[in-house]
Every structure is written in C-alpha cells, then in structure tokens.
Chains A and B, each alone.
Chain A
Amino acid sequence: MSEVAIRIRGLGKRYMIGAREQYDTLRDRIAAAASRPFRRMAPGGFGASATIWALRDVTHDIRRGEVVGIIGGNGAGKSTLLKMLSRITLPTEGEVEIHGRVGSLLEIGTGFHPDLTGRENILLNGAILGMRKAEIERKFDDIVDFAEVGGFIDTPVKHYSSGMYVRLGFAVAAQMEPEILIVDEVLAVGDVRFQRKCLGKLDDVARGGRTVLFVSHNMAAVQRLCTSAMLLDRGRLVRVGDVRATVGAYLGGEARGGFAAAARTGDAQILSADLEDRGGRPLENPSCSQPIVCRIRFALPRRSPGTRIGIGVLGSDGTTVFTTNNADAGTTCPSGPGEFDARVTIPPNTLLAGDFHVALCLWNSAAILDLQEPALSFSVEAGGSALYAENATRKGYVHIDCAWSVVPRIEASAAVLT
C-alpha cells in the first residue's frame, strides 16, 4: 500500500503573463528585438515583472490506491498542477516521477466534433483518451447504455442536447482503465442526477484500487470520495493529509472570521452527529419536502453554565448559508456534567436541492469548547417537493416563505378606462 504512484518534488510553473496577453506577431517581435539593447530584459525575453508563479515548491508523495482531492480557491494552481501531471505542459522547475499509465480527464468530451455522429465521436474520443480501437469497440454497448443516448447514436452530436453531450463524453471517459486517473472539475456540468452517476463511477474506480487525483469545488464530493486531500492556495501547497481536516481548513479559511478563528479549550466535546428523520431513523439522502433532524451527541465533563450548542449549514462551495443555536429557540442547554443529545430540526422546504455541510460548535460564555467543521455532509434531493413542481431548478441554497401579492395599479387601471 505504501508504494509510490506519483512523486512530486519542488514542482513549479511560471507563466509569462505578458506573452499570454498580447497578440504576438513577428512585427512585435522585431520591434522588441530592436529595442532590446535599451531595456534590460529578463532571460526569458520578457520583463521579469510580467511573470507569475502559478504553482511553486510543491512536494508530495501520492501512494498507490490513494484517492486524493485537490482543493483550493480559484487561481490556487489546481489546474496547473493537473496539467503538469498529465504532461500537457512542462514545469518550470522541479520534477515528477509517475509510476504507471496516466489517464486524464480534464474536460468532458475532449475532441468531440460537432459534425460527427455519436458513434463516430465515441471512437474518436476513445482514441484521444488513449484507448485501443478494439477496446472501444468491445465496450461500445456499455458506453451507449451509460450515456443513455440509444436512439441518437447515429445523429451528429451538434444536434444533441447539452445533457446528452456530456453524458456521452463521460460514458467514454468512464471506460478508461489507467493505473492513475486525473480528473478535473468535470462534475460542474450536468444535472444532479448526472453528477451523482459520475460520482458513483468515480467511486467504483477508486474502490478498484486505482490512484485517483480529483479536483473539485464540491466539498461534499471530495469528502465522500477521497482518502486524502491537498489544499492549494495561491500556488502553494498549504496543507495535505486527512481529507476531513483539509477540507475543514479550506472551508474554515473561506469562511473568514468564522468558527475557525477562535481557539478551542477544555475537554468538553462533540461526540457524534447524525442525520435522522422525524421518526429517529437514519437519513441518508433527504428530500426537500422532508424535515431534516440533526442529532448531536456531546459530553460536558464539568459544570459549564451558559453552554450553547450550534450548527452552521454550509453550501457545497463553503459559503455559510445560516447558523442556529439552541438559544434561538429559547431552549436552554443543561450545564452538565453528563452526556447529552441535542436535536435541531431543519423545517421541510427550507434547504433547496444540493450538497451541504454541517459545522458544529459547542461553547459557553467563557470559551469555545469544541468545534467540528465540517462534521457532516449530505445532499438534499428535489424529491417530490412542491418547490420543484413548476421549476426544475432553483437558484440559491434555501427557500424562504415570502408573502406575495399582485394587484392592478389603481391609477393605471383608471388611466386605461378613461
């Protein structure tokens, strides 16, 4: 298990942003060459100030069979790292040693040609992803089944709906069997059902003992799939290791001034947290129309007056959607000592369909006693909720019951009448 799959040493990539921005023509080049003696140019040929390190000093070993989530904000260097590991671009410094065949999926349907039919694109895309022709032909039926495009297989893909297009692309990619799989944020496309299907497939791959590198902004997905995580921030590897802690560090850093800012003290602790339905049965994938009960078990070893237990609900990107604690409902928390069960019920038709995390906090007037973020992750499904009766999708994280009225404007109607 300790065999190394990818050894990264001091990896760095510098971009010359000047060269990327301007439209580089021979004339510019000649003009620049003519003025070169007058300017002190960097060895690269462009001013040193016009360079940016997209990634620097990244050193890490990834073991075989590890499923690594690569997380970080925009511009953190995640894609640059994947591009170098996939050999799409060369590093500026450092070295990578890769043991095994790499398959990378940086985009769904790479190389699809709009004028070619689904059948033709499967063959083409398979070849682009490094599969043998015989292999693709053997798996052809599986691909068509998985993509659910059956009747349209001989239609040019330019006539496909965008959903069909990504399903077909993913179906081909899902057949890759490399020792190391590199996946960029490809789940951002497609509807919830498709995303779930993709995650299921990735899960199978991961369970199959393959090494997977997975970039995502969907922290719930990262936590569900990955065994460890790398957190990048402005081109640096700032944290690596246990997936929960790393995701927590990322979300904590994102939610600036949140729980993470405070230090925790004492030995009071949150023991466990689970979701259940109103009847006390474990709840796996709640639906919008269901009340979601979060049960938190905590222990107070000493008397702790003014204790409060609270939760923060975070969206899949780490945004804090809302927080609530027992005092909101006028409930007082026993001051201990002892073990307690706290239950907080999120009313039905509150959380919209999507992925959420729950952060937990236990504190009293003197200090934060325990903090776990994120302690839980779950997906809410649209289910049979009335909220989705008219619109298939809704923006935002929560639904709030708002009063509405629409009536004719009195002056306006009067004006029409005269």
Chain B
Amino acid sequence: MTAQPSALAVTYIRPGARSMSFTLREVWQARELLYFLVWRDVKVRYKQTVLGIGWSVLQPFLTMVVFTVFFGRLAKVPSDGVPYPVFSLAALVPWTYFAAAATNGATSLVGNQHLVAKVYFPRVLVPLAAVLMPVVDLAMAFGMLILLMAWYHVVPPPAAVALPLYAVLGALTAFAVTLWTSALSVRYRDARYVLPFLMQIWLFVTPVAYPASMVPERWRLIYALNPMATVVEGFRSSLLGTPGPGAMAVIAVATVAVTLSAGIAYFRSVEGTIVDLA
C-alpha cells in the first residue's frame, strides 16, 4: 500500500455543539444537495392537484380580490394614489412568499426527520431549502403582478432597481424566523399550533391591506421592527412609485441582522442533538 500521509481529510467528532456546527464552506460544498431538496419539494408540491402550479397565482390573486372589495371599496382604505388592486397585490406577492416560507420552514426539520436520522449533511440545508422552495411561487405571482400593472398602465419608477434588495430582505426575514421555528419545533411541537396564528397577527401588523403611511409618525419606528413592513413598502415603492420605507429600512435591516445571527447561533447549538429529540 502506498503511503499517503495526511492526503485524506481528517474529521474530528467530539461532544459539544461546536464540533458539528455548520460552516459556510460546508454549506457551499453541499449546494447540490440543497438544489435537490428544493427541486424535490417543488416537484412534489403540486403532484396530484388539478390546478398545479396555478395555485401559486390563484392564492394571492383571490386574496387581492377580497381585499379590493372589502378594504378598497367598502372600507375605503387609502392606497397612496395607486389603484387598490395593484396596491394590494404588490404587497401580497412578497407577503404570500413570506407566509409560505415561514410556515413551510417551521415544520421542515420535523418533516425531514427520516432524512436527518439516517444521513449526515449540514442540517441548516433543511430550513434553507424550505425558504428557497416558495421562490418558485413568488416568481409566478410576480409575473401576474406585472400583468396587472400593465392592465392598469402602471409604469415602475427608476427606484425599481432596489427591488431585488427588498426581495432579499424578505427572504432573510423568512430564513431568520425559520431557523428559530424549525429548531424549536423539533423539541416543542407547539410550533405547529402557534404558527398559523402568528402569521395571521403578522399579516395585520404588516402594511398589506393598508399603506404604512396610515400608521402615525411617532409609532412608525416601532412599527418598523417588523421587517416585513419595510419589505412590503419597498416592493410598492420600487414598482408603483409610492413613498418608500425610508428610515424604516434601517431598523428593519438591523432587526433582521440581529434575529438572523441569533438564529444561526441557536441552530448551531442544537443541530448536534436534533436527531435525539426528533
């Protein structure tokens, strides 16, 4: 046998959270698995459904119709000078993504128990894939939004270049939430009951059906602690030319940064024993 000293990678397995915590490099090396996890969920998601991928468009569309009738027509909620249907759909598109990602993400680790228990890979891929999967739906819904804007002859302002930033902020918010909920729900199955309720409340504290300008100025910065407010307002300002989130964005970015770092730290501390609890 030819001697190949230290040609092979050496792995140490020791007690303690540190020895298994994921690194960016490890996640990068496993990118193909991440791709396949997302691909699997996309493939399976609409199997044996009549409308298939049509659901990703129908859901925000019908919500928009209901909002337009009740908030736009009956309650006469202001819409920053834009036709209400476009106004609400521009918010519903990122919101639907967020709600789907967060709901999907919370049960992701529990739902993939069989995988986690039999094969090693950076566990963080599971919540990450859960957050990436609804991006497909987001893209579909976004196409519909563009069509609706064309219908109402709404032309995006130059600020539209900022749109990807808001989209990324929305995805990071969903990921931050998911890191917490997915890891917590392995241990506390309460998450399953808390989450739908939480999403409902969250929808109300996010300017989806109404503009953020309705919130009094002095409350605005506290309101901005909800990063989705910035994401939604950002979507509108870059597509419809409504007033942007302004200073709210700073608070939103800070909130996401803190929640995300804490979420990563928490996830790292439990990922080594996820299998034992699941």
Name A's B-contacting residues (CB within 8 A). Answer: 1, 3, 15-16, 19-20, 23-27, 29, 64-65, 83-102, 104, 106-107, 110-111, 113, 115-116, 120, 123-124, 127-130, 132-133, 179, 209
Asked if B50 is at the interface of the complex by the 8 Å CB criterion, the answer is no
Q: Does B159 contact A (CB under 8 A)?
A: no
Known contacts being A90-B272, A128-B121, is A24 close to B187, with CB within 8 Å? yes
Closest A residue to B47 by beta carbon equals A115
Q: Which of B19, B33, B120 contacts A88 (CB 8 A)?
A: B120
**Distance (Å) between the CB of B266 and the closest chain A CB?**
16
The reply on B48 being an interface residue by CB < 8 A is yes
Closest partner residue, chain A, to B277 (CB atom):
A19
Nearest B residue (CB) for A125: B36
Residue in B3, B33, B189 with the greatest tally of chain A CB atoms within 10 Å = B33
Residues of B within 8 A of A94 (CB): 14-15
Check if B44 sits within 8 Å of A99, measured CB to CB: no
Q: Are B33 and A96 in contact (CB-based, < 8 A)?
A: no
**In the bound complex, do residue A85 and residue B13 qualify as a contact, i.e. CB atoms below 8 Å apart?**
yes
Contact A88 B118 (CB under 8 A): yes
The residue that B40 contacts in the complex, of A89, A124, A132, with Cβ under 8 A, is: A124
* A29, A87, A92: the one within 8 Å of B11 (CB): A87
B residues within 8 A CB of A20?
276-277
Per-residue CB proximity of B7-26 to A under 8 Å, as 1/0? 01111111111011000000
13 A-B pairs within 8 Å (CB atoms) are namely A86-B119, A88-B119, A88-B120, A89-B272, A90-B13, A96-B12, A97-B12, A98-B13, A115-B47, A115-B48, A124-B39, A128-B119, A179-B8
- Interface residue? B190 (CB, 8 A): yes
10 closest cross-chain pairs (CB), A and B:
A90-B272, A100-B8, A127-B36, A96-B13, A87-B120, A98-B11, A110-B118, A99-B8, A89-B275, A115-B47
Task: Indicate whether A107 sits within 8 Å of B11 (C-beta atoms), given known contacts A25-B190, A26-B188, A124-B40.
Answer: no
**Is A24 touching B188 in the complex (CB atoms < 8 A)?**
yes
| B66 shortest CB reach to chain A, Å | 32
Contact assessment for B1 and A1 in the assembled complex, using a CB-CB cutoff below 8 Å? yes
Any chain A CB within 8 A of the CB of B114? yes
Choice from B12, B32, B44 contacting A116 with Cβ under 8 Å = B44
**Contact partner, B119, options A16, A64, A65, A111, Cβ 8 Å:** A111
- Residues of A near B13 (CB, < 8 A) are 84-85, 87, 90-91, 95-98
Q: Give CA–CA (A229, B61) in the complex, Å.
A: 64
A111 to B117, CA, bound (A): 10
A-side contacts of B272, CB under 8 Å: 89-90
Is B273's beta carbon under 8 Å from chain A? yes
Nearest opposing residue in chain A for B191, CB measure: A26
B218 in the interface, Cβ–Cβ < 8 Å? no
A259→B36 CA distance, assembly (Å): 55
Decide if B153 is an interface residue (CB 8 Å cutoff). no
Q: Which of B10, B119, B121, B188 is A29 in contact with, Cβ under 8 Å?
A: B188
Q: Does B165 contact A (CB under 8 A)?
A: no
Q: Is the CB of B118 within 8 A of A107?
A: yes
- B115 lies within 8 A of chain A by Cβ: yes
Distance in Å from the Cβ of B198 to the closest Cβ of chain A?
Answer: 14
Nearest-CB residue, chain A, relative to B10: A99
